Amino acid sequence: MSISLEKIVQSCKEAAELLPRQGPITKFAFLNPLQGLEQVHFDHAMEHVGEIYNNKAYLDDYRYRAMLGRGRIKESDLQDVLTEELGARATELVAGLTARMELRLATLKYPLHFGHRRELDWVLAETESLRKFRPELLNEAISSRLAVFKQWIMAERPPDVLATLGRSLGWSASKNEQHFESHRVTDIPESHWEYVYLQTLWNAIKTGVHQRAREIKIHEFDSNRHTKHSLLDHPRMSEYRAATSDHRVDELMIQFTAAFVDQGFAQSKLPGTELGYWECFKQIFSQPSRFASRWRRELWKLLRELEQSDVGPLESIRKSLLKLNIADEDAPAFLGATLLSLRGFAGMIWQTEIRPDLFRKPSPPGTLLEFVAVRLLLLVLAKDFPQAPSAWESKPSSPTNFSRPQMDSEQLAFLLFELAQVLDWNPQTLRKISAAQWQELVVEMLEFGDHQRRRVFHAAFERRLAKMAMRTFQKRVTQPPIRPENPTLQIVCCIDAREESLRRHLEELDPTVETFGIAGFFGVAMYYRGVGDADFSAQCPIIVTPKHWVTEEPVYALEQSDRTRAKARRILGTVQRRFQTQSRGSIGGTILSTLFGPLATFPMLSRILFPRTTALMNQTARQFIAPPAFTRLHLERTAGTPPAKPRVLKDGTLDDLGVGFTLEEMVQLAERALRDIGLTKNFAPMILLLGHGSSCLNNPHESAYHCGACAGNPGGPNARALAMMLNDGRVRRCLASLGLSIPEETQFIGGLHNTATEEIMFYDLELLPSRKIKQLRAASQLLAEAARRNAHERCRRFESADLGISHKDALLHVQNRSEDLAQTRPEYGNGSNAICFVGRRHRIRGLYLDRRSFLMSYDATQDSANAAILARILAAVVPVCEGINLLYSFSAMDPGGWGSGTKLPHNITSLVGVMDGAASDLRPGLPWQGVDIHEPVRLLFIIEATTQTLLHLMNENANLNNIFRNHWAHLAVIDPYTNQMYRFSKDRFVLFTADGPDSNLEEVATAIRSQDWYQNRREHLPFAVIAATENGRQPEAAPQENTSRPTELPA
């Protein structure tokens, strides 16, 4: 009797859901690292991540306590969270001593010793914690306690306490009582009393806890919570995690898997990769080898046996499980642990299998199973050779274990000892309490353990941030909306949090400008290939698989020049490739290094010492061979359905038939984009669509700085495509028939905002009518000034930029960063994101959101009754923004666990990812240098819609439902008609009131300009209202605004 093969396949599929979802690092995917657990409540998932992944959940206590000290968390927030959770239990007395709420608050507030067992040994042996009261206690409190204590001793004369006193004073052991009689109590110095008090306390608690601790089982904090996940609650998960991790097996698996997924780095390819993982492994390792490590010297025999008896990977998994003595019912958990033990590579293998379009060399289905089969085979072999007891081999791969820590009775006792001091439980009482009361105390301590404490801290922190954000929004939406009646310029940016500041500065600079936010792929999902690109890239959110293909082509007049330049590039490329391979070879290497080697110092010196100049020189030199400056998108397909892949003609060009969108498709996309952001009337004469990308050097994570909604590519081509569609006369005619008439004067221009250098460039300007040039010039100037201010605002976050830096130098500073070979922080990306607003910009125009908010435009008043527009917006925006936010937040919680650790030792492997140093698992996630300013918080969605709409949408869309109901992101709504705000909590909407009598919220600050608010400050700033936009409002616009208000805000 043994496990069925289907069961094995199914278990592996389930476990694969828990693997990192990172494709190749060049197409950086911002997804929730725990996406596979979204059907479970966030809190519940976090409880188990320690066991499953050995990663930290939440931050360390001391960091939250520091926030408590700085006022980022208030004590009242902690109280609120505890009250909400505990309900009636909050006021119950624990062991008749203190209310549960007080007890838990004390545990949170004071830096008690929760640490490791060995730390406690040190504390007991080396510190004065058993001699002196905790530093929080004031002198008066101490003396009053001691006074009561002395009275008690006088009255009761407990012999053991007298013995302690005697020891402290050096009395002879047998005559304590007599000595005590002969002394006047007041003669004994206070320090001795203090010692005796604490010793008595300590002894009382130790005995009390020792007796009870053995009988107590840890109660789950909230045992009625149900898991829908089979692996999450498996009791032996952390045991299996230890059993399946073997340093020697890892080493071999890393080498072989890296060779297998190699996308073209190594000079020799792994022979036989096309046979699949399993066959290839068998082929390589079935040659006998005398010198292989001892533990796997018999591997070849085993492989040959499998070959002869024709055992496939699945059958082999079953056999290995038998050999490892894994019971059938435990097999799924064991397989899960096996997969997760080298999860970076396992995840990559899984991606090559399920997203073949992202890889140059994808893998056939079933590869992940073969990976498991090989690992189990090696584990079986390694079992007979226990790991050598040397200094490092016996340790697990991570020095700390974040699984649920086991507390022993002394640790518990010491915690209670510390609490007893701050909560004033005196020894005389504690000596008297009953066994049941001790039990109650111990259970309480276990129930509110490490994890629960951090969870409450985190909840309180998020709560404060969310409330302050909601309060700021509420204050703003009750003020009149700011909307230019006749906008001169409209700018549509990505929802990205980095564009928040750019938009704010634009609006501050010119009140007649209107800005919009839209998902950065502008609704145009496509595979795109630029004129100088080798391959297509998917330009849409990673959760979407595009169907259309678009290429960029040189304009007809420059085709000849393009061919010449392409040829020149090919020659250069061939030389480069020669150089690269030869410089690593023997003869070529010798010649190159002796003849030209010393010359390498020049580029090295100039690159490092003068990065910007070198970059400019390179750029200039490249211009001679760069693709021609004037190109067009091949955007239109005349007919037919788009093919799975465009055909390549004999001359190497693509078959036109498969490329582009049909007219109807273009009309659909255009209409959808405009309706999504509510831009259906009041068109400005010029509308800029700005995609965004980033540029940086020497950075494997470059793709993570590009547009997250374009699968880690720059979003320029999408903006350009949409602008081209909207400028097309035929499209406009069709749109007009659909009730969307765009004035003839209105011109759309696509552009690209470089978020690192703050450069903004536009596409297809040669097509611009000359009467528009003046407008464009004005718009460019405006954008340039806004970009300078934006650079200045960003610089406050960079420690290497002076706080007093001028606008001009700030721009230079950010540009230098992006060209600097040694710069590990070219920009901070979406770091520090915390909010996502979906609604009308003019309702919140003038809010300082500190680059922490995603901004999506949506006009509820234009939506249909069943909120069709909001439904499609949220279907894309919620998972995308939640993914970005959670990847940042998890990476910041445990940079070495969820994130990819520090960039310094990163080593690019197989062109798909990075390892730490010489050989490690692949490291998905964001590097520490990208998240060091990020505060982990779940994203707060603030959506301008009614509560009924949202409830309706959650019922319709399972994904939204999971994310919001299981609190992977927080949700609040602003009613577009009543301006009331509601917060979604425990499956229902609760009215938000900031100004209640018990409100602990600060007033929302106001500043004249953004710069006044952020100047000279590096840390996270509270949100504020910037008055400039109001003041700057044109006088003639103001009354109009007022008159138009009733129409915009129906009662």
Near other proteins in 588-647, by CB under 8 A: 589-590, 592-601, 603-605, 608-609
CB 366, min distance to other proteins, A: 15
Q: Is 564 in the site for other proteins (CB under 8 A)?
A: no
CB 649, min distance to other proteins, A: 11
Q: Compute the residue count for the chain.
A: 1051
> Is 1046 in a helix, a strand, or coil?
helix
Nearer to other proteins, 908 or 958 (CB): 908
Nearer to other proteins, 238 or 699 (CB): 699
CA distance 793 to 240: 49
- DSSP for 641-686, please give it: PPPSSPPB-TTSPBPGGGSSB-HHHHHHHHHHHHHHHT-SSS--SE
Q: Which of 389, 769, 997, 1035 is the binder for other proteins (CB under 8 A)? A: 389
CA distance 90 to 99: 7
Nearer to other proteins, 248 or 692 (CB): 248
CB 46, CB 57: distance < 8 Å:
yes
CA distance 522 to 690: 9
Nearer to other proteins, 26 or 488 (CB): 26
CB 716, min distance to other proteins, A: 16
Q: Is 998 in the site for other proteins (CB under 8 A)?
A: no
Residue 1006 β-bridge partners: 1025
CB 930, min distance to other proteins, A: 12
Mask for 22-51, x = binds other proteins (CB under 8 A): ---xx-------------------------
Q: Is 905 in the site for other proteins (CB under 8 A)?
A: yes
Nearer to other proteins, 696 or 836 (CB): 696
CB 570, min distance to other proteins, A: 5
Q: Which of 115, 272, 312, 1022 is the binder for other proteins (CB under 8 A)? A: 272
Q: Is 262 in the site for other proteins (CB under 8 A)?
A: yes
CA 250 to chain centre: 27
Nearer to other proteins, 736 or 919 (CB): 919
Q: Which of 89, 182, 191, 265 is the binder for other proteins (CB under 8 A)? A: 265
CB 284, min distance to other proteins, A: 6
Nearer to other proteins, 395 or 777 (CB): 395
CB 387, min distance to other proteins, A: 11
Specify the stretch interacting with other proteins by CB under 8 A; choose among 218-226, 586-594, 634-642, 679-687: 586-594
Nearer to other proteins, 845 or 903 (CB): 903
| Residue (of 682, 679, 740, 675) closest to 512 by Cα position | 682
Q: Is 832 in the site for other proteins (CB under 8 A)?
A: no
If phi > 0 it is left, if psi is from -120 to 50 it is alpha, else beta; for residue 673 that is: alpha
Q: Which of 909, 949, 1011, 1029 is the binder for other proteins (CB under 8 A)? A: 909
> Is 632 in a helix, a strand, or coil?
strand
Q: Is 657 in the site for other proteins (CB under 8 A)?
A: no
Q: Is 578 in the site for other proteins (CB under 8 A)?
A: no
Residues with Cβ within 8 Å of residue 165, at least 6 apart in sequence: 153, 171, 176, 180, 188, 192, 196
| Residue (of 192, 182, 103, 184) closest to 146 by Cα position | 192
CA distance 720 to 931: 31
Q: Which of 91, 178, 289, 1031 is the binder for other proteins (CB under 8 A)? A: 289
CB 860, min distance to other proteins, A: 43
CA 974 to chain centre: 26
Give the DSSP letter of residue 756. Answer: T
Specify the stretch interacting with other proteins by CB under 8 A; choose among 60-68, 425-433, 914-922, 957-965: 914-922
Residues with Cβ within 8 Å of residue 650, at least 6 apart in sequence: none
User: Which 867-896 positions form the footprint of other proteins (CB under 8 A)?
Assistant: 896
CA distance 987 to 1006: 34
CB 794, min distance to other proteins, A: 16
Q: Which of 11, 341, 351, 699 is the binder for other proteins (CB under 8 A)? A: 699
CB-facing half-sphere around the CA of 854: CA atoms within 13 A: 34
> Is 394 in a helix, a strand, or coil?
coil
Q: What angle do CA 980, 984, 986 make, to 5 degrees?
A: 140
| Whole-number CA gyration radius for the chain | 33
CB 985, CB 436: distance < 8 Å:
no
CB 663, CB 734: distance < 8 Å:
yes
User: Which 792-821 positions form the footprint of other proteins (CB under 8 A)?
Assistant: 799-800, 820-821
# of chain residues touching other proteins (CB under 8 A): 106
- 35's tokens: 């996406």
CB 718, CB 524: distance < 8 Å:
yes
Q: Which of 174, 186, 268, 1047 is the binder for other proteins (CB under 8 A)? A: 268
Q: Is 716 in the site for other proteins (CB under 8 A)?
A: no
Nearer to other proteins, 517 or 896 (CB): 896
Q: Is 745 in the site for other proteins (CB under 8 A)?
A: no
Q: Which residues of 721-743 are buried (b: 16+ CB within 10 A; e: fewer)?
A: bbbbbbbbeebbebbeeeebebe
First-to-last alpha carbon distance for the chain, in angstroms, is: 71
Q: Which of 172, 308, 325, 390 is the binder for other proteins (CB under 8 A)? A: 390
Nearer to other proteins, 395 or 1017 (CB): 395
Q: Which of 148, 275, 773, 868 is the binder for other proteins (CB under 8 A)? A: 275
Q: Is 918 in the site for other proteins (CB under 8 A)?
A: yes
CB 351, min distance to other proteins, A: 16
Backbone angles phi, psi at 985, to 5 degrees: -145, 135
Burial (Cβ within 10 Å: 0-12, 13-18, ≥19) of residue 665: middle
CA distance 67 to 619: 46
Nearer to other proteins, 294 or 986 (CB): 294
User: Which 111-140 positions form the footprint of other proteins (CB under 8 A)?
Assistant: none
- 501's tokens: 């500041």
Specify the stretch interacting with other proteins by CB under 8 A; choose among 417-425, 460-468, 694-702, 1020-1028: 694-702
Nearer to other proteins, 137 or 270 (CB): 270
CB 356, min distance to other proteins, A: 10
- 31's tokens: 């997804």
CB 58, min distance to other proteins, A: 20
CB-facing half-sphere around the CA of 700: CA atoms within 13 A: 25
Nearer to other proteins, 96 or 917 (CB): 917
User: Which 190-249 positions form the footprint of other proteins (CB under 8 A)?
Assistant: 247
Q: Which of 212, 234, 825, 938 is the binder for other proteins (CB under 8 A)? A: 825
User: Which 476-535 positions form the footprint of other proteins (CB under 8 A)?
Assistant: 529, 532-535
CB 802, min distance to other proteins, A: 12
CA distance 540 to 548: 11
For residue 909, give the H/E element and its range.
strand 906-909
CA distance 950 to 835: 17
Nearer to other proteins, 25 or 1004 (CB): 25
Backbone angles phi, psi at 983, to 5 degrees: -115, 135
Specify the stretch interacting with other proteins by CB under 8 A; choose among 70-78, 192-200, 389-397, 424-432: 389-397
CB 433, min distance to other proteins, A: 43
CB 811, min distance to other proteins, A: 19
CB 848, CB 1024: distance < 8 Å:
yes
